[in-house]
Chains A and B, each alone.
Chain A
Amino acid sequence: ETGVTQTPRHLVMGMTNKKSLKCEQHLGHNAMYWYKQSAKKPLELMFVYNFKEQTENNSVPSRFSPECPNSSHLFLHLHTLQPEDSALYLCASSQGLGDRGFFGPGTRLTVL
């Protein structure tokens, strides 16, 4: 248990659905991240938030929409996804930007 939780752990959705992923950290960290992990690829950074302000959007398609209401919570809103978006979505937090990060268990997303 790293102190970072994610829900749901598994999600299957159709291309026309709208769903949201949730991440919560109990570590008192200031920075939070969304990563995508696909088979045989390195972890891809999607979004970075510091003190609930977005500091980086790594050219992510607009069908992924992040939300960070406070330093402890991070959401990823999903709509009209494509099958190639199927992957493990990982949330992480760190004390400061670029510090050692602690990952949540991830959400395994399947888009049909």
Chain B
Amino acid sequence: QKEVEQNSGPLSVPEGAIASLNCTYSDRGSQSFFWYRQYSGKSPELIMFIYSNGDKEDGRFTAQLNKASQYVSLLIRDSQPSDSATYLCAVNPGGGNKLTFGTGTQLKVEL
């Protein structure tokens, strides 16, 4: 079982819709969770982080964490073509000194 799993996509949504990206992780002791956005040919850019169960909102982005079910999700409201990118989920396993990344989900926002 992969430590961090994401659907590779592509996930296609129309402009203005809500994009929902999901990530599951295997280590129950994981404490920190991060979402990165990576445009083609560029490096990953941190967009959200969450440590506690529940929702965390920042502008059009909402991160949701459910530790009991071991999943973390990212919602993007009012999706824009500029949101088209690969979204990487990263998890810090319990007591770990590093982040473990998923393979990423490619999001396409269509006009």
Contact = CB atoms under 8 A, between A and B. Distances in A.
Interface of A: 2, 31, 33, 40-43, 45, 48, 50, 55-56, 88, 90, 97-106
B43 A101 contact: no
Nearest to A98: B92
B92 A104 contact: no
A106 B98 contact: no
A97 B96 CA distance: 8
Interface residues of B, number: 22
Nearest to A91: B43
A2 B97 CA distance: 21
A41 B43 contact: no
B44 A40 contact: no
Contact of A55 (B36, B97, B101): B97
B44 A48 contact: no
Nearest to A4: B43
Nearest to B93: A98
Given A42-B4, A42-B102, A98-B32, A48 B97 contact: yes
Contacts of A55: 97
Contacts, number: 54
B102 A56 contact: no
B65 interface: no
B49 A48 contact: no
Given A41-B103, A42-B4, 16 more contacts: A42-B101, A42-B104, A43-B44, A43-B88, A45-B99, A55-B97, A56-B98, A88-B43, A90-B44, A98-B32, A98-B96, A100-B34, A100-B46, A101-B46, A103-B45, A105-B42
Nearest to B104: A42
Nearest to B49: A100
Contacts of A97: 96-98
Contacts of B42: 105-106
Contacts of A50: 97
Interface in B38-57: 42-46, 49
Contacts of B92: 98
